[in-house]
Structure 1
Amino acid sequence: MRRNSLDLTAIVDAIEEVLPREQEFIALHEPYLVGNEWTYIKECLDTGWVSSVGKFVDKFEKDLAEYTGSKHAIAVVNGTAALHICLKLVGVAENDEVLIPSLTFIATANAVSYCGAIPHFVDSAINTLGLDPKKLDSYLQEIIVMKNGFSYNKETGNRIKAVVPMHTFGHPVDLDLLVNVCEKYNIELVEDAAESLGSYYKNQHTGTFGKVSALSFNGNKIITTGGGGAILTNDEKLAKLAKHLTTTAKVPHRWEFVHDHIGYNYRLPNINAALGCAQLEKLADYINKKRALAKRYDEMLKDIDGITFFKEPDFAKSNYWLNVILLDEANLELRDMLLRILNDKGIMTRPVWTLLHKLPMFRECPKMDLSTSKLLEKQIINIPSSVVLGDSYNA
């Protein structure tokens, strides 16, 4: 039984035991570039194909689709752009409400706002750190009225068009339950899979449960294109429209410039896609290293009273993008002290994002009871999770 005390020295010692001793500074998550990156990028430079078209864009999209099991992948300039287009593709319109966790990176809410829509904040589950489908279902039963087959918020009068679960730190939400909620209320499921490339829910890759989903390849993600993202979909028509909208909606012609929609210059350059192709070739090994690192952390931290190392839900296989320790409720006031000690030692650690409903631009948005999110905000500490840190533990 855990005691209501926290041995900060024991925690620091355990984390230091996992990490390489020779490094003065250890980042939270940094790129791992050990494959064909130089070769592929040099080819772009040698041939001049460095911009928005080229063979590496096509290859990256094909390889992503094959890896995730999605029929189509459309590469774009970043994960926020991917999510923005996903919301457009499922028909999110001005003044629609989109259900998103308050415990997520701000890009989730920003993408909703780009559509002129309204973020509607919902609570997270303690066992996934992501959106809680059971609690959401109970909440929607209270606030929704159905009109012409669509869900409307009876308090605001706005249509509730979509829900965007974010697979927090790579850990999948309970997608079966969430799919049921979406079907019950005719709400579109758009997965924010920015952090979960390589994560599986019941042996199916995240990002393949709704009509569309978004991935991110920012410099701190499990693989990187420097900056980049992708849209996943099994719908051929939506895939073609996504490609069209993200290439400024230009109608193909040998010399004329005709555009038939408001489009977006969201194309991923070939040189970035080249980096992504090389990274994707190593992804299976990266995941093995990250899971080995998580296992080592768990071994070193499991007997320390006052904290819990967060592990993947039973129904999932996670990429463990960012490792998490949770403070027991009795020790929440020691969070900042632990963060200070570790960062002073050159071990980069951080709390979770500020809950989005607290930010000035979102304070007036609708929200449900967020008690679990508020607790998690105080409990979560992310610890170093770079692929290279798992080298010595990967069997």
Structure 2
Amino acid sequence: MFEVQKLSQIKIPLDWPNIGSLEKEYVLKALDSGFVSTAGPLVKEFEDEFAAFLGCRNAVSVVNGTCGLHLALRLLNIGPGDEVIVPSLTFIASINPIAYAGATPVVVDVSADTWTIDPLQIEKAITSKTRAIIPVHLYGNPSDMAAIIDIARRHNLYIIEDATESLGATYQGEYTGNLGDIGVFSFNGNKLITTGGGGMLVTANDELAKKARLLVNQGRQAGQREYIHMEIGYNYRLTNIQAALGLAQMKRLPEFLITKRANTEIYMEMLDGVPGISWQQELPGAKSSWWFFSIIVDEGFKENKQFLISRLTSKGIQVRLFFKPLNQQPCYVKYNFMNCPVAEDLYNRGINLPSASFLTTDDVHEVCRELLKR
């Protein structure tokens, strides 16, 4: 069994947030202003700065990425009787909003090299009830969006990008989240930038953005003094304190991305050519944000995956298992999803390695030395 390490035992962390003096300064300013909840001015400022970074028309903040995906389905009027295709190898938050909406999830396998949704499997899964595809840019690595966009156009389907792990990743020069009808990001504590919780929905469609702002605010127009609710909405709003933290993190995002890629290149250099170890591949024209650098180990490498995990954790190196495939999740057994052999194999052999944005070159070297120790 995988044992969770105590914080005091961790020397090199997997994914802790990178918080410094700038974040403290911004949060204290928000506290001093008296605006701590959902009506503060920093929320719009954060949305505007996020949209400017991505180069998108509209960014609407939400309380977390899961709510963002749920909101996206609601905006596209997807519900009972509709099917939505999602990859098997992803966190369960990619599929739960489909169930919230009353739609039917359809789980398909991933590609063995990118670990993202396999376009060939999408084609096989499409029926007359299919309304949308949710490609997940797993661990920051862009999905094959050219193929997915082609499929969506031919079958008149929506694309909701689950970009919760891929802030800063690009595909053919465009940031992920901008490639579908709607994109959704997460600012959970382990993501590239954090607001503690929080998320962002982005879209080029002004009408969808306008409706999103209504729905996140309990169906009430922002700034309206009377309590008149035009639709049944949700309390999905981000707080001013969270926005303050997000603004500070956005200022540091470029440095985070540089560090992530630099550390990934060290991992690749030190592990290159080692028999029994491989890692996620970027598609031509794609550039991962490398939220996580992860490896796949052959059964014969250092005996097995569990042996490696135990040895690394005993040295204070925090690692993590891959997400358990959706087709194997007990809470979705009633759907009788097809087997997804590629996702299942990746799960059985995969390890997430330390990837926090403050790790040093020495930290990465130490991880690799322990990994390769004879």
With over 3 angstroms needed to count, the CA separation of the structure-2 counterparts of 1:330 and 1:73, relative to structure 1, is: same
Q: Secondary structure at the match of 1:324?
A: strand
Residue 36 (str. 1) matches residue 22 (str. 2): yes
Q: Report the equivalent of 2:214.
A: 244
Residue 354 (str. 1) matches residue 308 (str. 2): no
**Partners of 1:297 and 1:365 in 2: how far apart?**
39
Describe the superposition over 1:82-108 as per-residue Cα deviations: whole angstroms up to 9, x where unpaired.
Answer: 111011111211232110111110101
Compute the RMSD of aligned alpha carbons.
2.0
CA contact (8 A) 2:67 2:236 kept: yes
CA contact (8 A) 1:29 1:384 kept: yes
Mapping 1:357-376, distance limit 5 Å? 357-365=327-335, 367-376=337-346
Residue 47 (str. 1) matches residue 33 (str. 2): yes
Which deviates more, 347-356 or 238-247? 347-356
CA contact (8 A) 1:293 1:393 kept: no
Describe the superposition over 1:12-61 as per-residue Cα deviations: whole angstroms up to 9, x where unpaired.
Answer: xxxxxxxxxxx952221011123521221111111101110222111110
Mapping 1:40-189, distance limit 5 Å? 40-137=26-123, 139-140=124-125, 144=127, 152=128, 159-189=129-159
Instruction: Calculate the TM-score normalised by the size of structure 2.
Output: 0.90
Residue type at the aligned position of 1:93: G
Residue 310 of structure 1 and its aligned partner are, at CA, apart by: 3.0
**Partners of 2:131 and 2:41 in 1: how far apart?**
37
Residue 229 (str. 1) matches residue 215 (str. 2): no
Residue 256 (str. 1) matches residue 242 (str. 2): no
Mapping 1:317-356, distance limit 5 Å? 317-328=287-298, 331=301, 334-356=304-326
**Partners of 1:40 and 1:24 in 2: how far apart?**
29
Residue 300 of structure 1 and its aligned partner are, at CA, apart by: 1.2
CA contact (8 A) 2:298 2:304 kept: no
Q: Report the equivalent of 1:379.
A: 349
**Partners of 2:294 and 2:284 in 1: how far apart?**
17
Instruction: Calculate the TM-score normalised by the size of structure 1.
Output: 0.86
Residue type at the aligned position of 2:118: D
Q: Report the equivalent of 1:310.
A: 280
CA contact (8 A) 2:299 2:305 kept: no
With over 3 angstroms needed to count, the CA separation of the structure-2 counterparts of 1:253 and 1:78, relative to structure 1, is: closer
CA contact (8 A) 1:226 1:272 kept: yes
Residue 297 of structure 1 and its aligned partner are, at CA, apart by: 0.8
**Partners of 1:391 and 1:223 in 2: how far apart?**
21
**Partners of 1:24 and 1:94 in 2: how far apart?**
46
With over 3 angstroms needed to count, the CA separation of the structure-2 counterparts of 1:35 and 1:291, relative to structure 1, is: farther
CA contact (8 A) 2:194 2:246 kept: yes
CA contact (8 A) 1:332 1:378 kept: no
Give the % identical residues. Answer: 38
CA contact (8 A) 1:292 1:393 kept: no
Q: 1:27 aligns with which of 13, 18, 35?
A: 13
CA contact (8 A) 1:49 1:270 kept: yes
With over 3 angstroms needed to count, the CA separation of the structure-2 counterparts of 1:35 and 1:73, relative to structure 1, is: farther
Q: Secondary structure at the match of 2:71?
A: helix
Residue 345 of structure 1 and its aligned partner are, at CA, apart by: 1.5
Q: Report the equivalent of 2:368.
A: none
Describe the superposition over 1:263-310 as per-residue Cα deviations: whole angstroms up to 9, x where unpaired.
Answer: 000000010000000000111111000100001111111132111133
Aligned pair count? 356
Q: Report the equivalent of 2:3.
A: none
Q: Secondary structure at the match of 2:358?
A: helix
Q: Secondary structure at the match of 1:131?
A: coil
CA contact (8 A) 1:302 1:309 kept: no
Residue 240 of structure 1 and its aligned partner are, at CA, apart by: 0.7
CA contact (8 A) 2:302 2:308 kept: no
CA contact (8 A) 1:167 1:192 kept: yes
Q: Report the equivalent of 2:237.
A: 267
CA contact (8 A) 1:28 1:348 kept: yes
**Partners of 1:62 and 1:94 in 2: how far apart?**
34
Residue type at the aligned position of 2:107: F
Q: Which runs of 5+ in 2 are unaligned?
A: 1-8, 365-374
**Partners of 2:168 and 2:21 in 1: how far apart?**
18
With over 3 angstroms needed to count, the CA separation of the structure-2 counterparts of 1:187 and 1:390, relative to structure 1, is: farther
Q: Which runs of 5+ in 1 are unaligned?
A: 1-22, 145-151, 153-158
Residue type at the aligned position of 1:100: V
